[in-house]
Amino acid sequence: MHKFKHLLGVIAFAAVLGLVPVLTDNGFYLKVLFLIGVNYLAAAGLNVLVGYAGQKSLGHAGLFAVGAYTAALLTARLGWNPWLAFAAAGAMAGLFGVVIALPALRVRGPALAMVTIGFGVVVEKVVSEWQDVFAGQQGIYGVLPLTWQGQPLDSRQWVWVVLALGIAAHLMLRSLLRGKYGRAFMAVNTAEVAAESVGVSVYRYKVLAFVISAVTCGFAGALITQQNQYINSDFITFNLSVFFLLIVLFGGRSVYGPLLGAVVLTLLDAFLARWPGVQHFTYGALLLFALYAMPDGLSGALSGWARRFGAKPGPAASDAPELLAAWRARVAEAAAYGSQVLLRTQGLYKAYGGVVPTNNLDIEIQSGHVHSLIGPNGAGKTTLLNILSGIVPPSRGSIEFRGASIVGRPVFRICNMGLGRTFQNLKLFADMSVIDNVKVGLHQHIRAGFWSYLLGLPAAARDEAGATAEARQILQFLGLQAHAQALAGSLPYGLQRRVELARALATRPALLLLDEPAAGLNPQETAELVDVIRSIRDLGITILLIEHHMDLVMAISDHVIVLDYGEKIAEGQPAAVQGNPRVIAAYLGTDEEEEEALHNPEALAGARHV
Ligand SMILES: Nc1ncnc2c1ncn2[C@@H]1O[C@H](COP(=O)(O)OP(=O)(O)OP(=O)(O)O)[C@@H](O)[C@H]1O
């Protein structure tokens, strides 16, 4: 029904805009409408890169140029069919999108902006200096315009074509961004390590975002060139890159943001064109205003108001018990492993200069057990979890998980093999709803691919519905169903910890690594956590947890491993470890307290920050 409403809205919008060229033949108005469409097209793709994936680019004039010159050269020099050249322009820009993405993947923030500026400058120089091919300022004449029934498009038809392309782009990007791909881009944007740890390849999604933005910018370049039947190097300026970025930042991250941005800024651009000095001043002022007053852009501000005055979603109803039972069975099946030893490390070693947080560690994790990793502050517990989950590469040594070596594998692949984790310092996707956080965890289990989502095929809708249903089961399992629609970052700390656990469970792990799951929890929440961990173990999931709350460790562990200065100094059943003199010495170091701790586990807990 919702989908239907949206489609009707789009049709009504298209009908109104499509009527304008029928009602007027004013060349200026038609040109402005055409430019709004072109700018929208460029910004719609750039929004995926900047708004969703969080990669600021100041070089998209370069990709606009790739599209523009591809269309120009193929039609004016090689006589290609103009529609074919138009398609080739998008494809060529997409290829350049990969070229710019590869160096950009190594850097972030301001450094990324510099890389993209560099790309834009290189393209600008190439088209202005390489006269033989690109004809510099003199430009390329005789570019073939798009045609309809063999005739070049007239001003009205250009508006209709760009309107059709804009609507196609909107429908496709909306379908892409409202599902698995949009969530993955947002996850990459908010917390790269967390995204990888739940099975999202940061590398792949950054490249994809660059390519999408490049393709739509390439089409925009080709449209301008083919409509003008001319292009020269003066079109390709740094200002154009700023203009595109401004549309996206001003419009905001939603799928409607680029449209709002394109309408406002194109109109402004058209009316201020007579006063170029004022024009640039206005852009600068608008950018500052947008960043200061509307950090989420115009669409963000509008939806904020709508939320304030609109209806609040009611609490979610619980699902039928048989659905939860089906989910349990599915998770248990994913966690099942024939052999006793689920994970084994041998000679695992990691050094940071003189600090050796992991020193020749041999450990075995038994399938179906709860293992605790304890040790004084700085003993190397988190480092070990980071090595096991692939975030930190070991200097040497081997790790075998489910019978296969995982050293050197990317984090998201290790997750896909069945190793899930949470973090000591929460790494939630704070701007996303609780249920969407969990659905990011389901990423690898959603089969429908890029084209299914882009084209809105039934497979994508079916898999999305399946993911929503599974996420609801997970939330219900952890008692979070009432918070499904809340923003993850808005929840109290204890619930946020639980959401992270839900997200990790969604990956359907065989081994779950929990880094201080009780940190920051009150006593009641800690007691509840014991039950939660037990019920996760009862699903058949093996657990390795780091914890400083000794009573929690003693209550739930089948096996305890004790680290000190990166070495394993003891392991075994909780009671045995608790009485081990080396462990007590590592924690306390004095004879009197040693005696006390032998009989009082809370002394161990209390001494941890010594
Ligand atoms: N990236 C790094 N660069 C340099 N030293 C590091 C790095 N990561 C960890 N260390 C050092 O390795 C040692 C072990 O750190 P780690 O965080 O693994 O300890 P921990 O047992 O988890 O401690 P805590 O209980 O305080 O969380 C510390 O001395 C830490 O300073």
pLDDT tens digits for 235-266? 888 888 888 988 888 888 888 889 988 998 88
Whole-number Å distance, alpha carbon 423 to ligand 1 midpoint, is 14
Q: What is the pLDDT of residue 24?
A: 77
| DSSP sequence for 208-250 | HHHHHHHHHHHHHHHHHHHHHTEE-GGG--HHHHHHHHHHHHH
Q: Are 92 and 67 in contact (CB under 8 A)?
A: yes
Q: Are 577 and 416 in contact (CB under 8 A)?
A: no
**129 has pLDDT over 80:** yes
Q: What are the CA-CA distances from residue 269 to residues 234, 256, 281 (Å)?
A: 17, 20, 12
User: Which atom from ligand 1 is nearest to the alpha carbon of 424?
Assistant: 27
Q: What is the pLDDT of residue 535?
A: 92
Of 287 and 341, which is predicted with more confidence?
341
463-478 average pLDDT score? 93
Whole-number Å distance, alpha carbon 433 to ligand 1 midpoint, is 32
| β-pairing verdict for 404-405 and 396-401 | antiparallel
User: Which atom from ligand 1 is nearest to the alpha carbon of 516?
Assistant: 27
Give the HSE-up count for residue 35: Cα atoms under 13 Å, Cβ half-sphere: 19
CATH class of domain segment(s) 335-418+509-577: alpha beta
Of 565, 2, 36, 13, which is closest to residue 268 (Cα–Cα)?
Answer: 36
Give a three-class secondary structure readout of 437-456: HHHHHCHHHCCCCHHHHHCC
**421 has pLDDT over 70:** yes
- Distance of alpha carbon 587 from alpha carbon 376, whole angstroms: 6
Q: Are 355 and 348 in contact (CB under 8 A)?
A: no
Given pLDDT bands bounded at 50, 70 and 90, which one contains residue 102?
confident
| Cα dihedral: 550, 480, 295, 254 (round 10) | 140
> Sign of dihedral through CA atoms 436, 441, 444, 446?
negative
Given ligand 1 and candidates 382, 385, 550, which is best to mutate, with the most ligand atoms within 8 Å of its CB? Answer: 382
User: Which atom from ligand 1 is nearest to the alpha carbon of 375?
Assistant: 21
- Helices assigned H by DSSP within 434-522: 434-441, 450-454, 458-477, 493-506
Whole-number Å distance, alpha carbon 565 to ligand 1 midpoint, is 10
Q: What is the pLDDT of residue 399?
A: 96
| DSSP sequence for 520-550 | T--HHHHHHHHHHHHHHHHTT-EEEEE-S-H
**350 has pLDDT over 90:** yes
460-467 average pLDDT score? 94
Given pLDDT bands bounded at 50, 70 and 90, which one contains residue 607?
very low
ipTM here = 0.96
Q: Whose CA is closest to atom 9 on ligand 1? A: 383
Give a three-class secondary structure readout of 376-400: CCCCCHHHHHHHHCCCCCCCEEEEE
512-521 average pLDDT score? 92
Q: What is the DSSP letter of 410?
A: -
Instruction: Provide φ and ψ at 241, rounded to 5°.
Output: -60, -45
Whole-number Å distance, alpha carbon 250 to ligand 1 midpoint, is 42
Average pLDDT over the chain reads: 87
Of 311, 328, 371, 336, which is closest to residue 556 (Cα–Cα)?
Answer: 371
User: Which atom from ligand 1 is nearest to the alpha carbon of 563?
Assistant: 21
**Residue 602: other Cβ atoms inside 10 A:** 13
Q: What is the DSSP letter of 576?
A: H
Given pLDDT bands bounded at 50, 70 and 90, which one contains residue 140?
confident
Q: Please report where in the chains the tokens 């792949």 appear, as a residue.
A: 204
462-487 average pLDDT score? 93
CB within 8 Å of 507: residues ≥ 6 apart = 198, 199, 415, 418, 420, 441, 442, 444
Q: What is the pLDDT of residue 283?
A: 76
User: Which atom from ligand 1 is nearest to the alpha carbon of 608?
Assistant: 25
Q: Give CB contacts under 8 A, 24+ apart, made by 227-231.
A: 227/34, 227/145, 227/153, 227/158, 228/143, 229/141, 229/142, 229/143, 229/144, 229/145, 230/139, 230/140, 230/141, 230/143, 231/68, 231/69, 231/72, 231/139, 231/140, 231/143
Portions of the chain given CATH number 3.40.50.300: 335-418+509-577
Given ligand 1 and candidates 355, 424, 564, which is best to mutate, with the most ligand atoms within 8 Å of its CB? Answer: 355
Q: What is the pLDDT of residue 589?
A: 58
Nearest-5° angle of CA 177, CA 180, CA 185?
60
Give the distance between the most distant pair of CA atoms in the chain: 97
Whole-number Å distance, alpha carbon 352 to ligand 1 midpoint, is 9
**593 has pLDDT over 50:** no
Q: Are 395 and 339 in contact (CB under 8 A)?
A: no
Q: What is the DSSP letter of 591?
A: H
Instruction: Say which amino acid occupies 150.
Output: G
Q: What is the pLDDT of residue 136?
A: 77
**What lines the ligand 1 site, CB under 6 Å?**
352, 355, 357, 375, 377-383
Given pLDDT bands bounded at 50, 70 and 90, which one contains residue 311?
low
**590 has pLDDT over 90:** no
170-189 average pLDDT score? 94
CB within 8 Å of 345: residues ≥ 6 apart = 361, 362, 363, 388, 397, 398, 399, 400
- Distance of alpha carbon 483 from alpha carbon 498, whole angstroms: 11
**Residue 135: other Cβ atoms inside 10 A:** 20
Of 587 and 405, which is predicted with more confidence?
405
Tokens for 479, please give them. Answer: 């008692």
Given pLDDT bands bounded at 50, 70 and 90, which one contains residue 600?
low
Q: What is the pLDDT of residue 357?
A: 92
**313 has pLDDT over 60:** no
Of 233 and 72, which is predicted with more confidence?
72
- Out of 102-106, 116-120, 531-535, pick the least confident: 102-106
- Distance of alpha carbon 594 from alpha carbon 605, whole angstroms: 13
**Helices 523-538 and 493-506, packing angle to 10 deg:** 10
**Residue 433: other Cβ atoms inside 10 A:** 18
User: Which atom from ligand 1 is nearest to the alpha carbon of 385?
Assistant: 18
Of 267 and 276, which is predicted with more confidence?
267
Whole-number Å distance, alpha carbon 500 to ligand 1 midpoint, is 22
Q: What is the pLDDT of residue 314?
A: 52
Q: Whose CA is closest to atom 7 on ligand 1? A: 352
Given pLDDT bands bounded at 50, 70 and 90, which one contains residue 354?
confident
Q: Are 362 and 568 in contact (CB under 8 A)?
A: yes
Q: What is the pLDDT of residue 609?
A: 38
Roughly how many angstroms between the first and final C-alpha of the chain, as a whole number? 61
Q: What is the pLDDT of residue 11?
A: 81
- Name the 3-class secondary structure at 570: strand
341, β-bridge pairs: 366
- Distance of alpha carbon 379 from alpha carbon 142, whole angstroms: 71
- Distance of alpha carbon 441 from alpha carbon 415, whole angstroms: 10
Whole-number Å distance, alpha carbon 378 to ligand 1 midpoint, is 5
- Out of 23-32, 41-50, 259-268, 548-557, pick the least confident: 23-32
Per-residue model confidence as pLDDT tens digits over 436-455:
999 999 999 999 999 999 99
Of 289 and 431, which is predicted with more confidence?
431
Q: What is the pLDDT of residue 224?
A: 94
Q: Are 488 and 437 in contact (CB under 8 A)?
A: yes
Whole-number Å distance, alpha carbon 386 to ligand 1 midpoint, is 10
